[in-house]
Amino acid sequence: MPTSDPEQPSLEDAAPQQNPNPPVDDPADAGLPPPVYPPPYATGYPGYPGYHPWAYDPYRPTKPPGTNNMAIAALVTSLAGLLCCGLSSIVGLVLGVVGMRETKRTGQDGYAIALIGAIIGGLAVAGWMIYLLLSIGIFASGWQWAP
Protein backbone atom coordinates (compact mmCIF):
# COMPACT_ATOMS: atom_id res chain seq x y z
CA MET A 1 0.00 0.00 0.00
CA PRO A 2 1.53 3.26 -1.09
CA THR A 3 1.92 5.92 1.42
CA SER A 4 1.71 9.51 0.40
CA ASP A 5 4.40 11.58 1.93
CA PRO A 6 3.88 15.34 1.58
CA GLU A 7 7.63 15.84 1.24
CA GLN A 8 7.99 13.57 -1.87
CA PRO A 9 5.76 14.10 -4.86
CA SER A 10 4.36 11.03 -6.56
CA LEU A 11 5.09 10.16 -10.18
CA GLU A 12 1.57 11.12 -11.25
CA ASP A 13 1.90 14.62 -9.80
CA ALA A 14 5.35 15.35 -11.25
CA ALA A 15 5.46 17.67 -14.28
CA PRO A 16 7.30 16.30 -17.31
CA GLN A 17 10.79 17.69 -17.53
CA GLN A 18 11.99 19.25 -20.76
CA ASN A 19 14.92 17.71 -22.64
CA PRO A 20 18.09 19.73 -21.85
CA ASN A 21 19.39 18.93 -25.40
CA PRO A 22 16.51 19.53 -27.80
CA PRO A 23 16.96 18.25 -31.40
CA VAL A 24 18.36 20.77 -33.82
CA ASP A 25 16.04 21.51 -36.71
CA ASP A 26 15.40 24.29 -39.16
CA PRO A 27 12.84 26.79 -37.96
CA ALA A 28 9.42 26.53 -39.50
CA ASP A 29 9.61 30.04 -40.93
CA ALA A 30 13.24 30.82 -41.75
CA GLY A 31 12.36 33.70 -44.02
CA LEU A 32 13.80 32.02 -47.10
CA PRO A 33 12.17 32.36 -50.50
CA PRO A 34 10.63 29.24 -52.04
CA PRO A 35 12.92 27.20 -54.32
CA VAL A 36 12.98 28.32 -57.93
CA TYR A 37 13.28 25.73 -60.66
CA PRO A 38 14.23 26.64 -64.24
CA PRO A 39 11.34 26.58 -66.68
CA PRO A 40 11.29 23.65 -69.11
CA TYR A 41 12.33 24.27 -72.68
CA ALA A 42 9.50 25.46 -74.85
CA THR A 43 10.50 23.38 -77.86
CA GLY A 44 12.09 20.03 -78.44
CA TYR A 45 12.01 17.03 -80.70
CA PRO A 46 8.62 15.47 -81.34
CA GLY A 47 7.96 12.92 -78.63
CA TYR A 48 10.85 14.21 -76.51
CA PRO A 49 9.78 17.52 -74.98
CA GLY A 50 12.61 19.45 -73.45
CA TYR A 51 15.39 17.58 -75.30
CA HIS A 52 17.84 19.63 -77.30
CA PRO A 53 20.81 18.27 -79.24
CA TRP A 54 23.10 20.98 -77.84
CA ALA A 55 22.20 20.18 -74.22
CA TYR A 56 24.83 18.65 -71.94
CA ASP A 57 24.93 14.87 -72.05
CA PRO A 58 25.50 13.69 -68.46
CA TYR A 59 26.19 10.10 -69.51
CA ARG A 60 29.09 10.71 -71.84
CA PRO A 61 32.46 10.58 -70.06
CA THR A 62 34.68 13.61 -70.33
CA LYS A 63 38.23 13.61 -71.64
CA PRO A 64 40.81 12.79 -68.94
CA PRO A 65 43.00 15.77 -68.10
CA GLY A 66 46.66 16.00 -69.02
CA THR A 67 48.99 14.14 -71.33
CA ASN A 68 49.20 10.37 -71.34
CA ASN A 69 52.06 9.12 -69.17
CA MET A 70 52.83 6.20 -71.51
CA ALA A 71 53.39 8.64 -74.36
CA ILE A 72 55.84 10.70 -72.33
CA ALA A 73 57.67 7.57 -71.17
CA ALA A 74 57.85 6.32 -74.78
CA LEU A 75 59.50 9.52 -75.95
CA VAL A 76 61.95 9.63 -73.05
CA THR A 77 63.02 5.99 -73.33
CA SER A 78 63.33 6.19 -77.13
CA LEU A 79 65.59 9.22 -76.88
CA ALA A 80 67.61 7.47 -74.18
CA GLY A 81 67.96 4.51 -76.55
CA LEU A 82 69.52 6.78 -79.15
CA LEU A 83 72.08 8.15 -76.71
CA CYS A 84 72.84 5.01 -74.71
CA CYS A 85 72.53 1.34 -75.52
CA GLY A 86 69.59 0.32 -77.68
CA LEU A 87 67.72 -1.66 -75.02
CA SER A 88 65.67 1.27 -73.83
CA SER A 89 64.61 2.05 -77.40
CA ILE A 90 62.86 -1.33 -77.50
CA VAL A 91 60.96 -0.30 -74.39
CA GLY A 92 60.21 3.06 -76.04
CA LEU A 93 58.83 1.32 -79.12
CA VAL A 94 56.52 -0.87 -77.02
CA LEU A 95 55.42 2.03 -74.80
CA GLY A 96 54.76 4.15 -77.90
CA VAL A 97 52.42 1.57 -79.40
CA VAL A 98 50.63 1.05 -76.07
CA GLY A 99 50.43 4.82 -75.55
CA MET A 100 48.88 5.36 -78.99
CA ARG A 101 46.22 2.75 -78.32
CA GLU A 102 45.51 4.18 -74.88
CA THR A 103 45.14 7.74 -76.15
CA LYS A 104 42.74 6.60 -78.85
CA ARG A 105 40.69 4.64 -76.32
CA THR A 106 40.47 7.33 -73.63
CA GLY A 107 40.67 10.46 -75.76
CA GLN A 108 43.54 11.79 -73.67
CA ASP A 109 46.20 14.08 -75.12
CA GLY A 110 49.56 12.70 -76.24
CA TYR A 111 48.90 10.68 -79.39
CA ALA A 112 51.54 12.59 -81.36
CA ILE A 113 54.08 12.20 -78.56
CA ALA A 114 53.46 8.45 -78.47
CA LEU A 115 53.75 8.28 -82.26
CA ILE A 116 57.07 10.15 -82.23
CA GLY A 117 58.31 7.90 -79.42
CA ALA A 118 57.36 4.79 -81.40
CA ILE A 119 59.01 6.10 -84.57
CA ILE A 120 62.24 7.06 -82.81
CA GLY A 121 62.24 3.76 -80.93
CA GLY A 122 61.65 1.80 -84.14
CA LEU A 123 64.40 3.64 -86.00
CA ALA A 124 66.81 3.16 -83.11
CA VAL A 125 66.03 -0.56 -82.92
CA ALA A 126 66.46 -0.89 -86.69
CA GLY A 127 69.76 1.03 -86.55
CA TRP A 128 71.11 -1.10 -83.74
CA MET A 129 70.04 -4.29 -85.57
CA ILE A 130 71.82 -3.17 -88.77
CA TYR A 131 74.90 -2.29 -86.73
CA LEU A 132 74.79 -5.67 -84.99
CA LEU A 133 74.39 -7.58 -88.28
CA LEU A 134 77.21 -5.64 -89.98
CA SER A 135 79.48 -6.24 -86.98
CA ILE A 136 78.76 -9.96 -87.02
CA GLY A 137 79.28 -10.08 -90.82
CA ILE A 138 82.64 -8.29 -90.62
CA PHE A 139 83.78 -10.45 -87.73
CA ALA A 140 82.72 -13.65 -89.53
CA SER A 141 84.57 -12.63 -92.72
CA GLY A 142 87.84 -12.42 -90.85
CA TRP A 143 88.03 -8.64 -90.92
CA GLN A 144 88.26 -8.52 -94.74
CA TRP A 145 86.30 -5.68 -96.20
CA ALA A 146 86.24 -6.75 -99.85
CA PRO A 147 84.65 -10.04 -100.99
Given a contact cutoff of 8 angstroms between Cβ atoms, the answer to whether 64 and 108 are in contact is yes
87-106 and 111-140 are packed helices; what angle lies between their axes, rounded to 10 degrees?
150
Residue 115 falls within a domain, yes or no? yes
pLDDT digits (tens, 9 = 90+) for 28-72: 666 777 777 665 555 555 555 555 555 555 666 677 888 999 999
What's the number of domains the chain is made of? 1
Residue 13 falls within a domain, yes or no? no
The Cα–Cα gap between 101 and 123 comes to 20
Note the pLDDT of residue 53.
Answer: 57
Residue 98 falls within a domain, yes or no? yes
Residue 90 falls within a domain, yes or no? yes
69-83 and 111-140 are packed helices; what angle lies between their axes, rounded to 10 degrees?
30
Residue 6 falls within a domain, yes or no? no
pLDDT digits (tens, 9 = 90+) for 65-106: 889 999 999 999 999 998 887 789 999 999 999 999 999 998
Q: Which of 103, 113, 108 is nearest to 63 (CA)?
A: 108
pTM for this prediction: 0.56
Domain that holds residue 77: 69-140
Residue 32 falls within a domain, yes or no? no
Residue 19 falls within a domain, yes or no? no
